[in-house]
Amino acid sequence: MTVWIIFISVVALLLAFDLGVLNRKAHAISLKEATVWSTFWIGLGLGFSIVVYFIYKNGWIGNPNALNAWNATIKYITGYLVELSLSMDNIFVIAVIFSSFAIPEKYQHRVLFWGIVGAILFRITAIYLGVALLKKFFWITYIFGGFLVFTALRLLRAHQKVFNPKDSLVFRWVNMIVPVSHTIESQKFFIRKNEVLMATPLLVALVVIEFTDILFALDSIPAVLGITSDTFLVFSSNILAVMGLRSIYFFLSHMVSRFKYLKYSLSAILFFVGIKLILSHHIELPEWVSLTFIAVALGLGVLFSLKNKEEYQN
């Protein structure tokens, strides 16, 4: 329990420091700032694997799966990379949402910050529920695995559709509950006009981002559960990957179109983890196999995207 309290307290402190100190005043995130913080969050996420090693080596936390320190560390890194790679799709959608609602760059960080807080709260519930189902019903692995394989094939065959958040049910629901203003006034989510309380486009963008994150979590959480059912490893890898999503968004928002082959990497990762889940009661793959497959799939996706871009320019 002590490890859980310390981990959650550190996450809360980092979030408070981010909003209360680093981004107290609204400003557009420069490429340099985004690069520094992306490096920090990814370094923190991967560096936490050292902490994981010592936690499991010294038995500082419950270990229902009897993992040794090395296996726990590899499972954490694999889960972190899975969550981080699947978050790339989320970045595409976030960019479209901000563009659709014409959210100025200097206000985007505030929307993303509260979006991350909401994502963390949702994932806490989803992870505990998923782990509980895996432990109580062994056959749930077949459902999770089949769902991931289906998602992988759907992603592979999906046609590029233009997503318009203003046509979504979420936007219409918000507009039914509270009138939506068409103007953005500072960082406020609500304003009053002629004694009428109105939501600003910032609130609508936040709500749409929250709902899209829930949809993405339906893929990513079962994928990480395919790596391990250890609650702490699933939770910590998920949360640290999600917390770095804001900085990575600002870093990749203008570059994301370059990685056109990344969807094939994500499809391959989901398919691999799905098959791994389905066969988990019959075949146990070494952790280094999963980690190697994920790293190679991501590397090839980036490599082919960059190569294709160079050939197009030439």
DSSP string, 117-129: HHHHHHHHHHHHH
Element (H, E) at 266: helix 262-278
pLDDT, residue 49, reads: 94
Region 197-203: mean pLDDT is 82
Quote the tokens at residue 185: 């006034």
Residue 206's identity, in one-letter code, is: L
For 108, the domain range is 2-313
Q: Does the structure show a pLDDT above 90 at 201?
A: no
d(CA 147, CA 289): 22
**Residue 248: closest CA among 26, 38, 89, 45:** 38
Instruction: Return the higher-pLDDT residue of 80 and 252.
Output: 80
Average pLDDT score, the chain: 76
Q: Does the structure show a pLDDT above 90 at 20?
A: no
In terms of C-beta density within 10 A (0-12 exposed, 13-18 middle, 19 or more buried), how is residue 32 classed?
Answer: exposed
Could you count the other beta carbons within 10 Å of the beta carbon of residue 287? Answer: 20
- Comparing 77-86, 159-168, 252-261, the range with the smallest average pLDDT is 159-168
What would the pLDDT profile of 272-295 be if each residue is shown by its tens digit?
Answer: 777 776 776 677 667 677 778 877
d(CA 80, CA 17): 23
Number of domains the chain contains: 1
Region 183-204: mean pLDDT is 78
Q: Cα(first)–Cα(last) distance of the chain, in Å?
A: 58
Region 129-136: mean pLDDT is 71
Residue 279's identity, in one-letter code, is: L
Bridge partners of residue 180, in order along the sequence: 199
d(CA 222, CA 231): 12
Angle between helices 69-100 and 201-225 (to 10 degrees): 150
| DSSP class per residue in 36-88 | HHHHHHHHHHHHHHHHHHHHHHTT-S--TT---HHHHHHHHHHHHHHHHHHHH
- Largest pairwise CA distance in the chain: 66
Region 239-260: mean pLDDT is 70
pLDDT, residue 115, reads: 80
d(CA 275, CA 76): 19
d(CA 115, CA 132): 26
Q: Does the structure show a pLDDT above 80 at 183?
A: no
Q: Does the structure show a pLDDT above 70 at 42?
A: yes
Q: Is the pTM of this model over 0.85?
A: no
Contact 95, 105 (CB under 8 A): no
Contact 134, 263 (CB under 8 A): no
Q: Does the structure show a pLDDT above 70 at 90?
A: no
Bridge partners of residue 192, in order along the sequence: 197
- Comparing 18-22, 93-97, 125-129, 152-156, the range with the smallest average pLDDT is 18-22
In terms of C-beta density within 10 A (0-12 exposed, 13-18 middle, 19 or more buried), how is residue 5 classed?
Answer: exposed
pLDDT, residue 200, reads: 81
d(CA 186, CA 111): 12
d(CA 156, CA 268): 9
Region 198-213: mean pLDDT is 80
Quote the tokens at residue 202: 């910032």
What would the pLDDT profile of 43-86 be if each residue is shown by its tens digit?
Answer: 999 999 999 999 999 989 988 888 899 999 999 998 888 887 77
Residue found under tokens 């910032």: 202
Region 219-237: mean pLDDT is 82
Q: Does the structure show a pLDDT above 60 at 122?
A: yes
